[in-house]
Amino acid sequence: MAADGETTGDLAFYAATHALDAAGVKAAELDMIVLGTTTPDLIFPSTACLLQHRLGANGCAALDVNAACSGFLYALGVGNAFIRSGQARRVLVVGAETLTRMLDWSDRSTCVLFGDGAGAVVLEAADEPGILTTKLHADGGYKHLLYNPVGVSAGFQLDEKNAGVRVLMTGNEVFKVAVKTLDRIVGETLEAAGMHESQVDWLIPHQANLRIIEATAKRLGLPMERVIVTVDRHGNTSSGSVPLALDEAVRSGKVQRGQTLLLEAFGGGFTWASALIRY
């Protein structure tokens, strides 16, 4: 959980500086910053713009992406597309959240699930593809199953605690759709890359809950020993969850250079996304 007074931008800054140091890239060398978040510091300017200034990367493109728990993979897809199109050479991709600030602590069906956190990666143009493919999808028809009921345009509930900001979720229905949808995107992702399930070395999933993670691992035929699980320690950190799990996989030495990683996420919207990466 973020400390009192600590913002999404603060967490993003910590993650970004570590990622830049690990990549040996200076902030001034960035062409773009893409930040996935549902809990920005301000309505505007974007948290990516605030982060850009703190890093000293003034002048590069900077934007937030709101795709709920799929936010980091959406941001990764955007950054990858800009590099592949030649519009950028180096892109900082961040997923950061302070979800505990928007929880109803009297609702035990949601408040025990979520946490705060951030992670980041640096993308750079290269001769050999690191990101083999990304897939991004959404279906707003499921909005009513997982959402925040208030906002600037729709209005706030000033007579309610936190002005009505909270997470509303029909958990059992979200689970059913998530399992089926992630099963489809796994197949779609592998087909796009011309690969078979047996060629995936590691599954690095969004850390929503263990049952969804286990269902995706079963679809791939992967033992849980080849799946990165952090939900028991971090909770569901939304956009922060996939990069946090990726960071743990790398720092622990589990993931080795040349291995193939499947990243996937599912979130409010509904949104869902994946990335197949050769590390």
As annotated, the active-site residues are 69, 206, 236
Catalogue the E-assigned strands of 188-256.
Answer: 202-205
What are the CA-CA distances from residue 96 to residues 126, 174, 208, 260 (Å)?
Answer: 26, 22, 15, 24
How many Cβ atoms sit within 10 Å of the Cβ of residue 171?
14
User: Which helix (H) or strand (E) is 140 found in, with range?
Assistant: none
* 196: alpha, beta or left? (left if phi > 0; alpha if psi -120 to 50): beta
Q: How far is CA 204 from the centre of its chain?
A: 11
Q: Which of 246, 241, 240 is nearest to 279 (CA)?
A: 246
What are the CA-CA distances from residue 35 to residues 17, 55, 103, 215 (Å)?
Answer: 14, 14, 22, 28
